[in-house]
Chain A
Amino acid sequence: MNAPATQGQSKLVRWIDHRLPIFTFMQHELHEYPTPRNLSYWWNFGSLSGIMLVIMMVTGIFLAMQYTPNVNLAFDSVERIMRDVNFGWLMRYIHMNGASFFFIVVYIHIFRGLYYGSYKEPRELLWMLGVIILLLMMATAFMGYVLPWGQMSFWGATVITNLFSAIPVIGGDIVAWLWGGFAVGNPTLNRFYSLHYLLPFVILGVVVLHLIALHQHGSNNPLGIDRKGPQDSIPFHPYYTIKDMFGLGVFLIIYCVFIFYLPNALGDTQNYVQANPLQTPPEIVPEWYFLPFYAILRSVPDILFIPAKLAGVLCLFGAIAVLFFLPWLDTSRVRSARFRPIYKWVFWLLVLDVLALGVVGAHRPEGWYIVIGRVATLYYFIHFIVLFPVIGWLERPLPLPTSISAAVTRRSGAGMAGATAPMEKH
């Protein structure tokens, strides 16, 4: 395997590769690249995320050819796309539902990482780059939603940009600077359009870094133990290329059911009403993928000398910031929740907690929703800041298998279980 990757290829391939080693690169990183042999379907969501990014960028570029970023024309230009542009309705619904599906696959991808300890050494930077991608996605999605200039576009923009006024002293100036005026208006719409077109390319760059970091040590796996040798790995191609393709097929079926038959199910009907700065809609609700964060924002009361509005903003950003520190907050020496009996429990509590926050975020802050919202917000932070380190210290993990291949062959019924190794240090 030490011969150049292009040996035996055509002269053209070798000519190019000698000058720009793209073929060697692909052979090494996509074809031979050693991947754990035991990856489950939960490992499909990384490639699905990448594909969603491409789908969003491509449909976005073609939509941008037809959209007009002016407050008097934006809403109508979107409807022109829906009615008059050839396949405009299709591109719009793909892009609109694509935002939701992008977040669905990314959230699953993140929770996979939480469950299997993919953020732990040596993948800390890989994880942090992922959190940066999430942040950029949230900014991109927020600005994109403003572009159709419906009621939710305008009022969502108003509410969220107003958050920055919570910053002491300079908050008001920052908001006016963001707006480019006295309120959300045409300057705001134009700059959001520019940035919405820009940020996905920034995301793309961070994704490249994310993949480089990944390839340094390779993928984690459901057992959470390192690859020991060639018997633990298989080449990425053809095994995971075909598995990713199959997963993509299943995903596309679900995605297309929404595009073609349930195109508005995940959206807000109020956004089919043109923005009216003089009329606030009865409910201002962000898109579903922001609901847990929205709940956290609204749940926080006055804390000591910090007014509720500022406290809410700090907790909102804190909720994402805390994710950066997970690799150090988690003190367990075992990666995968499969071998962590207490953490496994607690992980599902987090899932429940995030779902509860989502429900709270969708409703007006009244009655039971206030209580649940506060408890859920408190739990969210306790989960990461308290439970992560404490469980790591107190938990007695299950014995880990000796190696991936040992676990795999044992699973396929090859006689009595091999001896398991004492708990490994990572």
Chain B
Amino acid sequence: MADTAQPKPMGAHTHDSATRRDFLQIAATAMTGIGAAIAAWPLIDSMNAARDTLAAGAPLDVDVSHLRPGQQIVVLWRSRPIFVVNRTPAELKTLQEQQVTSQLRDPGSETNQQPAYAKNWHRSIKPEYLVLVGICTHLGCIPNFTPEPGALFPAWPGGYFCPCHGSRYDLAGRVFSGVPAPYNLPVPPYNFVSDTVVRIGENPSGTTFDLNSVEQL
């Protein structure tokens, strides 16, 4: 402590040299700080999804020509289960019945859980084909497809039942009131590239929708 030589007192410098020293030191410190930030960015960015991960998340084509009415298939897109259902006319009728809609928390799909082109009574582009992200909006389990009327209880219209905590959804993915799940099942971006091929992950031309914008995935 006491054995370092002290630099010459400040008064020995002209005012000019003092400000030049301040400028240099400020410039040196600032540039070093900027350099450190620039050096940190590649490390942080390397944790973002890599090119191959993004490529694997490219849109997925699903051929529904073999999907029978009343049947559901599940495909994986961006690591999430996607339900594709071919709904029967009878099932479509129940979606508009007051007996069903009165039990739903959000029958009109007001909460942002679907693209604009699926904000309708059947929550889809073509009424007979339903496309949903099969992740319960409560805590993320995969709900069971339970389309048979009366399966869970006599008045059950058909829909989904989540085994983890008992949440229920109808055959348009709309959540029932009084269950733990807060929102309707999300609808992903999708587009019919032909009458029988659905492309999951791509919006119809002229529309935009980002799945990450929904309230609860």
Residues on A lying within 8 angstroms of B by beta carbon are: 1-2, 28, 32, 34, 37, 58-59, 62, 65-66, 80, 83-88, 90-91, 227, 229-235, 242, 245, 405
Contacts and interface: CB of A to CB of B under 8 A. Distances in A.
A324 to B, nearest CB: 32
A86 B49 CA distance: 8
Contacts of A66: 46, 50
Interface of B: 1-5, 7, 28, 32, 42-43, 45-48, 50-53
A86 B28 contact: no
A230 B4 CA distance: 4
Given A1-B1, A233-B5, A234-B5, A58 B50 contact: no
A245 B50 CA distance: 34
A199 to B, nearest CB: 21
Given A91-B43, A242-B28, A245-B32, A86 B5 contact: no
A62 B40 CA distance: 11
Contact of A80 (B2, B47, B50): B50
Given A2-B1, A62-B43, A86-B51, 9 more contacts: A28-B1, A34-B4, A59-B43, A66-B46, A85-B50, A230-B3, A231-B5, A232-B5, A245-B28
Which among B45, B47, B50 has the highest number of chain A CB atoms within 10 Å? B50
10 tightest A-B contacts by CB?
A87-B42, A84-B51, A230-B3, A1-B1, A84-B50, A84-B52, A85-B50, A86-B45, A34-B4, A235-B4
Contacts of B3: 34, 227, 229-230, 233
A58 B1 CA distance: 35
B2 A1 contact: yes
A86 B46 contact: yes
Contacts of B7: 234
B4 A86 contact: no
Nearest to B45: A86
Contact of A86 (B2, B32, B48): B48
A230 B5 contact: yes
A37 B5 contact: yes
Nearest to A86: B45
- Dominant secondary structure of chain B at its interface with chain A: loop
A122 to B, nearest CB: 17
Nearest to A63: B46
Nearest to A236: B4
Nearest to B24: A242
A80 B42 contact: no
A229 B7 CA distance: 15
Contact of B42 (A32, A84, A91): A91
A405 B5 CA distance: 10
23 contacts: A1-B2, A2-B1, A32-B4, A34-B4, A37-B5, A66-B46, A84-B53, A85-B46, A85-B50, A86-B50, A86-B51, A87-B46, A90-B42, A91-B46, A227-B3, A229-B3, A230-B2, A230-B5, A231-B5, A232-B5, A233-B3, A233-B5, A234-B4
B155 to A, nearest CB: 51
B46 A83 contact: no
A344 B159 CA distance: 89
A227 B2 CA distance: 13
Contact of B46 (A65, A231, A232, A405): A65
Contacts of B45: 86-87
Contacts of A34: 3-4
Contacts of B47: 62, 65
Given A234-B5, A245-B32, A86 B42 contact: yes
Contact of B50 (A88, A91, A229, A234): A88
A47 to B, nearest CB: 14
Nearest to A87: B42
Contacts of B42: 86-87, 90-91
Contacts of B1: 1-2, 28, 32
Nearest to A248: B32
Contacts of A1: 1-2
B4 A88 contact: no
